[in-house]
Amino acid sequence: MNQTPKPLLKPRRKASGYTFLLCLILATQNLQLRGTPPAQKKIEALAGEAAAEHLIHVVKPQYPAIAKINFIQGTVRLEINVNTKGQVTEAHVLDGEPLLAAAAMEAVRKWLYKPYVLPQGPAAFRTEVAVKFALHPHTLWGKFPPDANSYMEKQVRPPKVISHPQLDPSAATLKLKVLVGAKGEVLDAVSKGQEEPDVEQARQSLQGWKFRPANWGAISVPWYIIVNVPREQSITNQASNSAKH
C-alpha cells in the first residue's frame, strides 16, 4: 500500500436530360464547396508587452497545496491564442514545473483581453505569457531547500501509457511532451521545432490514448511524459488502409 512521502459532426415530374445534367453539375459543385475546408484566418503574433496592454481581466492561479508543502516555486511560460473577442482559446506550456503548469493553464484560460483591432477589423493573436509562483519566506528562517524541485521529482512515480490506437512501427512520428493530469487526462502536448499542422493533428490523436497518472505516494499529481505520436500523413495512410480491408 502506497504511503504519501514526506513533503520536501421525389421530383414531382421527370426532368429532361439537360435539366438533369445541369442539376448534377450544380450538386457536384456544392459538394466540392462543402468538402473544402474554409481558409484559416491568420493569427497575428504579438510580443508579450503589446499583448499585456490589451489584458483587462486576470485570474490568479491557485497555488497547488502539494507544491507548497514541497517548496516548489518558479515561473511557467505559456503560449496562448486569443480570438477576436479577446477570449483565450488555447494555452500551451512552453516551460515550467508540472504541478505549477497545470494550475497556470487553468487560470490563463479564464483571462480576457480587449479585442486586438487592425485596420481591416478585429484579429486573433498569439502571444507568450509568464505566470510566477513564489512562496513567502516566513518559514525556515527565510530560506528554502535549494534542491526542492529535484527532490520532488525523485519522489514522483511518473505517468505511464496504458493503451493507445494500434500504431504502424514504420510510421513517421512526432515526439511530444505531454502534461498528464491527476485523473490521467491529457492537459497539454507540445513539441518544439515541429510544424503546427502536424502538432495539432498529433494532439487530436492523443484523445484515443489512455494514461495512468503520476503519483506522489498515494496522491495523483500532474506530470510530464514523453511519447511518440504518428504524424498527420501517417494517420491518414493508416485510416485509408483500414478502409480498404
Q: What integer is the mean pLDDT of 64-79?
A: 95
State yes or no: pLDDT of 15 exceeds 50.
no
CA 14 to chain CA centroid, nearest Å? 54
State yes or no: pLDDT of 23 exceeds 70.
no
> Look-up: residue for cell 491564442?
81
CA distance 1 to 155: 15
Residue 126, domain CATH: 3.30.2420.10
Is 209 a member of any domain?
yes
Residues 153 and 179 in one domain: no
pLDDT in tens, 94-131: 999 999 999 999 999 999 999 999 999 999 999 999 99
Q: Which helix (H) or strand (E) holds 98?
A: helix 98-108
In this prediction, what percent of the chain has a pLDDT beyond 90?
57
Is 100 a member of any domain?
yes
CA distance 158 to 224: 7
Q: What integer is the mean pLDDT of 27-53?
A: 64
Query: All 3 cell numbers of residue 111?
Result: 483571462
78: domain range? Answer: 41-137+148-157
CA distance 212 to 153: 17
Confidence tier at 41 by pLDDT (50, 70, 90): low
**Domain total in the chain:** 2
Q: Which residue has the higher pLDDT, 40 or 212?
A: 212
Residues 167 and 211 in one domain: yes
Residues 124 and 175 in one domain: no
Confidence tier at 194 by pLDDT (50, 70, 90): low
State yes or no: pLDDT of 178 exceeds 60.
yes
Alpha carbon of 46 to those of 53, 125, 128, 142, 237: distances in Å? 11, 6, 8, 38, 37
Is 202 a member of any domain?
yes
Residues 94 and 124 in one domain: yes
Is 191 a member of any domain?
yes
- Mark which of 157, 190, 218 sits at the end of a domain: 157
Is 199 a member of any domain?
yes
Is 180 a member of any domain?
yes
State yes or no: pLDDT of 241 exceeds 50.
no
Q: Which residue has the higher pLDDT, 172 or 163?
A: 163
Task: Count how many residues are written for the chain.
Answer: 245
Is 232 a member of any domain?
yes
Sign of CA dihedral 103, 109, 114, 118: positive
Is 197 a member of any domain?
yes
State yes or no: pLDDT of 192 exceeds 90.
no
Residues 113 and 193 in one domain: no
- pLDDT of res. 6: 65
Residues 131 and 162 in one domain: no
- pLDDT of res. 139: 56
| pTM to 2 decimal places | 0.76
Residues 195 and 232 in one domain: yes
